Amino acid sequence: MTNDAVVARNVWRTYGADDAAVVALRGADLTVARGEIVAVTGPSGSGKTTLLNCLAGLDAADDGAIEVLGTDVRALDYEDAVEWRRQNVAIMFQAVGLLPYLTARENVEIALRLRGVDRSSRRSATAEALARVGLADHADHRPSELSGGQQQRVAIARVLAQPPKLLIADEPTGQLDSDTTLVVLDELRSAVKDHDLTIVMTTHDPTSTAFADRAVRLAGGLVLDEDAGA
């Protein structure tokens, strides 16, 4: 038993085979304590997205041990992984992934509906979360009527409306200007404090890296300095 949110050991992931094989992860290690915010940095192609996908059970590691919130992620079958994520994990992809025919409000609300939150709680939590990311007056806009940064804020409002145990986020502030980045990071920090949220996020952004409790660096599929402080 461990009180860590994430314990990944010696994780390997190879794409393709033979001459075309790309080793995306070559023995990556990562430990994240509950309530910690960890930034995963490293150059493009270093394996950051692959590592997040393996932690979330969205991609299957070839070797290694991955325990997330006490669950052996590699042992979950597809349906169990879907249910486990629904109950425990929020995921923000680089491509924000809002539903195009739904408004900002509906995009936040649907995540709550999937978790069985009742209608009036959904309404109030959604309105509050959109206000916290500065989008109260954009609630009725569809993604095509929002900038990339505003879409990213809708995805963050989804997390704030009902914080999961673990947020796995691929460049969550990548499309935000520096003022908005600070607003969003502050809101995520509040969710960590109030809801015991844990965050693992990749980032290229020095503001987000400095904001994290700890930064780790990936290079060539290996986590280089897991113990280094941010």
Nearest approach in angstroms of CB 156 to ligand ADP is: 20
User: Could you say which of 15, 75, 80, 121 contacts ligand ADP (CB under 6 A)?
Assistant: 15
Closest CA to 51 of 222, 174, 198, 207: 222
User: Could you say which of 31, 41, 46, 162 contacts ligand ADP (CB under 6 A)?
Assistant: 46
User: Could you say which of 3, 44, 120, 144 contacts ligand ADP (CB under 6 A)?
Assistant: 44
Spatial contact of 93 and 85, defined as CB atoms under 8 Å apart? no
Q: Is 60 in the site for ligand ADP (CB under 6 A)?
A: no
Q: Is 144 in the site for ligand ADP (CB under 6 A)?
A: no
Work out the angle between the directed axes of helices 119-132 and 148-161 (0-180°, nearest 10). 130
CA distance linking residue 36 with residue 182, whole number of Å: 18
Residues 93-132 contacting ligand ADP, CB under 6 A: none
Q: Give residues in contact with Mg ion (CB under 5 A).
A: 48-49
User: Could you say which of 6, 8, 11, 24 contacts ligand ADP (CB under 6 A)?
Assistant: 24
Q: Which stretch binds ligand ADP (CB under 6 A): 38-46, 101-109, 116-124, 125-133?
A: 38-46
Spatial contact of 198 and 35, defined as CB atoms under 8 Å apart? yes
First to last CA, the chain: 27
Closest CA to 217 of 80, 84, 75, 46: 46
The number of CA neighbours under 13 Å toward the Cβ of 120 is 0
User: Could you say which of 5, 38, 41, 49 contacts ligand ADP (CB under 6 A)?
Assistant: 49
Q: Is 19 in the site for ligand ADP (CB under 6 A)?
A: no
CA distance linking residue 34 with residue 4, whole number of Å: 5
User: Could you say which of 47, 57, 143, 163 contacts ligand ADP (CB under 6 A)?
Assistant: 47
Residues near ligand ADP, by CB under 6 A = 15-16, 22, 24, 42, 44-50
